[in-house]
Chains A and B, each alone.
Chain A
């Protein structure tokens, strides 16, 4: 009996001892990052999932231009470009040494192929709309590409920097979903589903030998992996409640950055009674944004009053338009004849939506609105809400940069059909002068606040945590990406 007991004790102890040695000696050439979502595949030109860009953007795939940490357009595959005086012709000169990871040269033909593939009728590109102004693309010579636009497009160079616009090779385009082949400083090595994607240095531009992206959807697990050294960095810690403890911890850098994520309580404007602006105003008055940010995001996030990022120079502070006022909200509902309202709020997986949904349901209850919460996964959200328009209300963060234009789109899921707003967007597209563009942005913000096609909640904060010694990671997210091309260990 005693020997058996000793054996059991030994068995229980062995793993504990092994665990003690679990903190591996860190080599300074590998960086392991934690990301929340596992992408469905790895081709950024064939899907809307931000999780794809979070791995491959700038690291594996490159576009003609890129967007850097400050949100500015920088050269990437195109080292320089010329714009004609009428703003309708762009000539790009490609980087001479650029080649794909399988050794094939990057030439003008690949660029033309990529763009034509993206606009094709059967294209799965999520941002087909960005390619719409393009009339014709031609390869002038093997390293020069000319774009002819239908009309001047103020944001064209910025748009070319999106992950959806990256250049792929005709031979590998079909297999990029599983085995991406791009031109970036890192090449794809392996993908263990449910676990990790591994990238390796492809050329001298990369400062690290190896980059590992690990999928850790559980916030507590992410926190624990950071503390145990299982990951070196969590560029987007999805646990605001745990962020404070990293700030106090000398082993880590904990940086609050900005994102382009306007978090909304989106409204189906086509559905009764939300087609009535009074009901939408009532909702706006019913929400206490400050309490929401505090409760759902542990105070990380900035309340907003329209669809615009507070750190942008053209931002107008409209947070005071609809102060939290339950009496006013009730009165508006009464006026609209929409008392005893019962609504459904569809909630995608992120904490801002799931937690935010519970807070908003409680706040709506204060003004007599009964909210049923329906948690959905991203696939269903995209399909039911985004594509299908089957929802009353939903909570979602629109993370694309300068995306106020979505309110002018036809058949967008808000079903906000405003000719006044569309006129503003058309004016914007034809305007190149910065001061005038900013003016239009301001007008658009005010119009949205007035019409309230969605309830503007708050701008998401980027909570980045990484080990001291890691450098070159983005503090802000102007686009959803984890650009590690400049990352290194000090």
Chain B
């Protein structure tokens, strides 16, 4: 394959990292300070457009939209971290194990990943909600389990390559066990692949969480979440159209930033990697 020439990989990396950093920063700031208390209602100023006082306007209860977006970012980030963390930990363990052991282990792990892939993310989140009711645990569980299969496949394929290299065989020959080799040689080698995949998966997690909270299956009110803010905005569009715009922009910006970051890192770390499947909403 001829590697397509990349346009300014560093540029993409920088822009993506900057966007992601700003969002994380806003979420962290919201822990100690928001322009207004995110839950404070003020009916007299409700459904206002952007102004000097309320930069992004107010919602149907007169709550400050910017403050709620900042607090909502925490929710998206937490779901993303947990869901990617679960996938990364369990999936990498399974994938590297399958690559080290081959044979029946490999077969079972591959089948398991197949089964998980048969469940679209929204469907598994619905299954979780059917039993658990609405709650933030639904997207974490659904995306986390999906990510297990993603990271299993990615780490298995990458680990297989590493196992094919001379020096891993040499390490085995000098008496290192498969676990040692995996820890010492395989993991460090596949780390770049995993980091790139983690970024892409994070973006997917943000999108899916937004969809689920839009459907009312994620966090419960009055805790703000980007998806739920869009849901609430829908009946108020004739009165306050900006309510339907800013939360969507926040989601799009976060995903855009994470995607750029992922692409940029892939170019920087390992230009040979193919496009990863990146969306599953």
Name the residue of chain A whose CB is nearest to the CB of B62.
Answer: A295
Decide if the interface of chain B is mainly helix, strand, loop or mixed: loop
A223 & B238 in contact (Cβ 8 Å cutoff): yes
| A390 contacts the other chain (CB 8 A) | no
- How far does the alpha carbon of A354 sit from the alpha carbon of B236 in the complex, in Å? 15
Would A358 and B61 be within 8 Å (CB), given that A294-B43, A374-B220 are in contact?
Answer: yes
| A241 contacts the other chain (CB 8 A) | yes
Partner of B235, one of A242, A361, A362: A242
Distance between B187 CB and nearest chain A CB, rounded to angstroms? 43
Name the residue of chain B whose CB is nearest to the CB of A374.
Answer: B220
Decide if the interface of chain A is mainly helix, strand, loop or mixed: helix
Give chain B residues whose Cβ lies under 8 Å from the Cβ of A354: 221
Give chain A residues whose Cβ lies under 8 Å from the Cβ of B236: 241
| B49 contacts the other chain (CB 8 A) | no
A362 & B221 in contact (Cβ 8 Å cutoff): no
A220 & B234 in contact (Cβ 8 Å cutoff): yes
Give chain B residues whose Cβ lies under 8 Å from the Cβ of A242: 235, 238
Distance between B57 CB and nearest chain A CB, rounded to angstroms? 15
Partner of B239, one of A241, A357, A375: A241
B60 & A362 in contact (Cβ 8 Å cutoff): no
B216 & A220 in contact (Cβ 8 Å cutoff): no
Which residues from chain A sit less than 8 Å from chain B, CB to CB?
Answer: 218-220, 223, 239, 241-242, 245, 291, 294-295, 354-355, 357-359, 361-362, 365, 372-375
Which interface residue of B43, B220, B236, B239 has the most chain A CB atoms within 10 A? B43
Give chain B residues whose Cβ lies under 8 Å from the Cβ of A361: 222
- How far does the alpha carbon of A295 sit from the alpha carbon of B62 in the complex, in Å? 9
B221 & A358 in contact (Cβ 8 Å cutoff): yes
Distance between A120 CB and nearest chain B CB, rounded to angstroms? 35
Give chain A residues whose Cβ lies under 8 Å from the Cβ of B238: 223, 241-242, 245
Give chain B residues whose Cβ lies under 8 Å from the Cβ of A372: 220
Name the residue of chain B whose CB is nearest to the CB of A242.
Answer: B238
Give chain A residues whose Cβ lies under 8 Å from the Cβ of B239: 241
Give chain A residues whose Cβ lies under 8 Å from the Cβ of B235: 218-220, 239, 241-242
Give chain A residues whose Cβ lies under 8 Å from the Cβ of B250: none
Would A295 and B43 be within 8 Å (CB), given that A241-B236, A241-B239, A242-B238 are in contact?
Answer: yes
Give chain A residues whose Cβ lies under 8 Å from the Cβ of B61: 295, 358-359, 362
| B247 contacts the other chain (CB 8 A) | no
B43 & A373 in contact (Cβ 8 Å cutoff): no
B43 & A362 in contact (Cβ 8 Å cutoff): no
- How far does the alpha carbon of A220 sit from the alpha carbon of B40 in the complex, in Å? 26
| B41 contacts the other chain (CB 8 A) | yes
| B227 contacts the other chain (CB 8 A) | no
Would A375 and B216 be within 8 Å (CB), given that A223-B238, A241-B60, A361-B222 are in contact?
Answer: yes
Additional A-B contacts beyond A218-B235, A362-B39 (19; CB < 8 A):
A220-B234, A220-B235, A223-B238, A241-B60, A241-B235, A241-B236, A242-B235, A242-B238, A245-B238, A295-B41, A295-B46, A358-B222, A359-B41, A359-B61, A361-B222, A362-B61, A365-B39, A374-B220, A375-B220
Give chain A residues whose Cβ lies under 8 Å from the Cβ of B46: 295
- How far does the alpha carbon of A373 sit from the alpha carbon of B221 in the complex, in Å? 7
- How far does the alpha carbon of A489 sit from the alpha carbon of B41 in the complex, in Å? 44
Distance between A428 CB and nearest chain B CB, rounded to angstroms? 39
- How far does the alpha carbon of A357 sit from the alpha carbon of B221 in the complex, in Å? 9
Give chain A residues whose Cβ lies under 8 Å from the Cβ of B43: 291, 294-295
11 contacts between A and B (CB under 8 A): A220-B237, A295-B60, A354-B221, A355-B60, A357-B221, A358-B41, A359-B61, A362-B39, A362-B41, A362-B61, A372-B220
B221 & A375 in contact (Cβ 8 Å cutoff): yes
Distance between A429 CB and nearest chain B CB, rounded to angstroms? 41
Name the residue of chain B whose CB is nearest to the CB of A292.
Answer: B43
Which interface residue of B61, B234, B238 has the most chain A CB atoms within 10 A? B238
Which interface residue of B40, B221, B237 has the most chain A CB atoms within 10 A? B221
Q: Which residues B56-111 have CB closer than 8 A to chain A?
A: 60-62
Name the residue of chain B whose CB is nearest to the CB of A299.
Answer: B43
Distance between B243 CB and nearest chain A CB, rounded to angstroms? 11
- How far does the alpha carbon of A361 sit from the alpha carbon of B239 in the complex, in Å? 24
- How far does the alpha carbon of A362 sit from the alpha carbon of B216 in the complex, in Å? 20
Distance between A422 CB and nearest chain B CB, rounded to angstroms? 37
Give chain B residues whose Cβ lies under 8 Å from the Cβ of A355: 60
- How far does the alpha carbon of A65 sit from the alpha carbon of B138 in the complex, in Å? 50
Give chain A residues whose Cβ lies under 8 Å from the Cβ of B134: 375
Name the residue of chain B whose CB is nearest to the CB of A219.
Answer: B235
Give chain B residues whose Cβ lies under 8 Å from the Cβ of A220: 234-235, 237
Q: Which residues B2-49 have CB closer than 8 A to chain A?
A: 39-41, 43, 46
- How far does the alpha carbon of A375 sit from the alpha carbon of B213 in the complex, in Å? 13
Name the residue of chain B whose CB is nearest to the CB of A355.
Answer: B60
Which interface residue of A223, A241, A372 has the most chain B CB atoms within 10 A? A241
Distance between A262 CB and nearest chain B CB, rounded to angstroms? 23
- How far does the alpha carbon of A365 sit from the alpha carbon of B38 in the complex, in Å? 13
- How far does the alpha carbon of A242 sit from the alpha carbon of B235 in the complex, in Å? 8
Distance between A432 CB and nearest chain B CB, rounded to angstroms? 46
- How far does the alpha carbon of A218 sit from the alpha carbon of B237 in the complex, in Å? 13
- How far does the alpha carbon of A184 sit from the alpha carbon of B61 in the complex, in Å? 45
- How far does the alpha carbon of A245 sit from the alpha carbon of B43 in the complex, in Å? 20
Distance between B63 CB and nearest chain A CB, rounded to angstroms? 9
Distance between A349 CB and nearest chain B CB, rounded to angstroms? 10
Name the residue of chain B whose CB is nearest to the CB of A240.
Answer: B235
- How far does the alpha carbon of A354 sit from the alpha carbon of B220 in the complex, in Å? 11
- How far does the alpha carbon of A250 sit from the alpha carbon of B237 in the complex, in Å? 21
- How far does the alpha carbon of A220 sit from the alpha carbon of B232 in the complex, in Å? 11
Give chain B residues whose Cβ lies under 8 Å from the Cβ of A373: 220-222
Interface string of B208-251 (1 = CB under 8 A from A): 00000000100011100000000000111111000000000000
Name the residue of chain A whose CB is nearest to the CB of B134.
Answer: A375
Give chain A residues whose Cβ lies under 8 Å from the Cβ of B221: 354, 357-358, 373, 375
Name the residue of chain A whose CB is nearest to the CB of B61.
Answer: A295
Give chain A residues whose Cβ lies under 8 Å from the Cβ of B216: 375
Give chain B residues whose Cβ lies under 8 Å from the Cβ of A374: 220
Give chain B residues whose Cβ lies under 8 Å from the Cβ of A291: 43
Distance between A17 CB and nearest chain B CB, rounded to angstroms? 25
A362 & B40 in contact (Cβ 8 Å cutoff): yes
Interface string of B261-279 (1 = CB under 8 A from A): 0000000000000000000
Name the residue of chain B whose CB is nearest to the CB of A361.
Answer: B222
- How far does the alpha carbon of A300 sit from the alpha carbon of B49 in the complex, in Å? 23
